[in-house]
Amino acid sequence: MKFLDLAKVYIRSGAGGGGCVSFRREKYVQYGGPDGGDGGRGGDVVVEAVEGLNTLIDFRYQQHFFAKNGQPGMGRQRSGKDGDPIVLRVPVGTEILDEDEETIIADLTEVGQKVILAQGGNGGFGNLHFKSATNQAPRRSNPGQEAVERTIWLRLKLIADVGLLGLPNAGKSTFLAATSNARPKVADYPFTTLVPNLGVVGVDEVEFVVADIPGLIEGAHEGRGIGDRFLGHVERCAVLLHLVDGTSADVAGDYKTIITELEMYGGGLAEKARVTVLNKIDALTEEERAEKCAALAEAVGAPIMEMSGVAKQGTVDVLRVLRDQIDADRLRQKPAQEEKPWSPS
């Protein structure tokens, strides 16, 4: 399935049906009087967050969504049928933006959340509605309200507990593959990861979700490389895991590059809780390892951790530190594995 996290959509609610001008006509009934019914209400345009979706790819192939119009009123005091609403089903974590791509209309962060984006028009009154003691045969009715048209943007921000940060080839996808059932593409060239990946990791009987985004490079906020368009997927995370490539010639410089991009992006990412890890320590000698740990710790201004995603060395310790940074209400208990009944071989 292709990944899409931004889509432009055109919506229109249903127009209300017009009222009816009608008079009762029956044999042997004199002065039948007005009996025109009201028009039906137009359908709403609704957006709903549902389970089972993690991309907006459906909105690439259909961008126009129109609700049904209300039917006009009829004689014999019959009201028109209401128009059917139309529901846009989106993944959890989707933001609804106005046409300017800045004004947030709604933010759907829970399954089942619904928002009316365009209300259907009310139906018009038939002439029966205008009957009075002084006007017993009105010949007027109201038209239904017009439909509401608008253009909106859908922007997906994945719901995850931990976000992975680092330069290209820092080992983010390798860490995700080593600690979860996710199978992101792993290769020895930059920008192997082109779209975000999610994986569920478990440690000490609890589970949490980790999001891996494409690597950042210097100037990403100006559009270099893939740019910072995927940083929105880690805005909702409780903690960030910053991986620094231990085989790099300048680990301190690599760390500062990512921090600068976070500060330029804004959104509070630079102030979010962060765990810094020196990765790929299996490829270093003891002397190189000690030297680079000291340089990175000085740049961070706090103790750092060491890990090798390929060798799965230190990964459990990193997961435990991440778990301690996540609120208890966001953690999930690991499902207990059913024990198979013993049978003689």
Question: Is the Cβ–Cβ distance between 40 and 15 less than 8 Å?
Answer: no
Question: Is the Cβ–Cβ distance between 168 and 277 less than 8 Å?
Answer: no
Is 32 annotated in some ligand binding site? no
Q: Torsion angle of alpha carbons 250, 171, 234, 180, nearest 10°? A: -160
CA 40 – CA 54 distance, rounded (Å): 37
Is 310 annotated in some ligand binding site? yes
Is 154 annotated in some ligand binding site? no
Instruction: Give me the phi and psi of 47, to 5 degrees please.
Output: -115, 135
CA 40 – CA 28 distance, rounded (Å): 32
Is 193 annotated in some ligand binding site? yes
Is 8 annotated in some ligand binding site? no
Q: Where are the beta strands (DSSP E) in the chain?
A: 6-12, 45-50, 64-66, 86-91, 94-97, 104-108, 114-118, 149-156, 162-165, 197-203, 206-212, 239-245, 274-279, 305-306, 332-333
Is 173 annotated in some ligand binding site? yes
Is 214 annotated in some ligand binding site? yes
Is 309 annotated in some ligand binding site? yes
Is 75 annotated in some ligand binding site? no
Is 191 annotated in some ligand binding site? yes
Structure tokens at 232: 């929105």
Is 122 annotated in some ligand binding site? no
Is 94 annotated in some ligand binding site? no
Is 172 annotated in some ligand binding site? yes
Is 328 annotated in some ligand binding site? no
Closest CA to 76 of 136, 32, 111, 135: 32
Is 180 annotated in some ligand binding site? no
Which residue type is seen at 114?
A: K
Is 167 annotated in some ligand binding site? yes
Burial of 345 from C-beta contacts in 10 A (0-12 / 13-18 / 19+): exposed
Is 112 annotated in some ligand binding site? no
Is 282 annotated in some ligand binding site? yes
User: Residues annotated as binding site for GTP?
Assistant: 166-173, 191-195, 212-215, 279-282, 308-310
User: Residues annotated as binding site for Mg(2+)?
Assistant: 173, 193
User: Residues annotated as binding site?
Assistant: 166-173, 191-195, 212-215, 279-282, 308-310
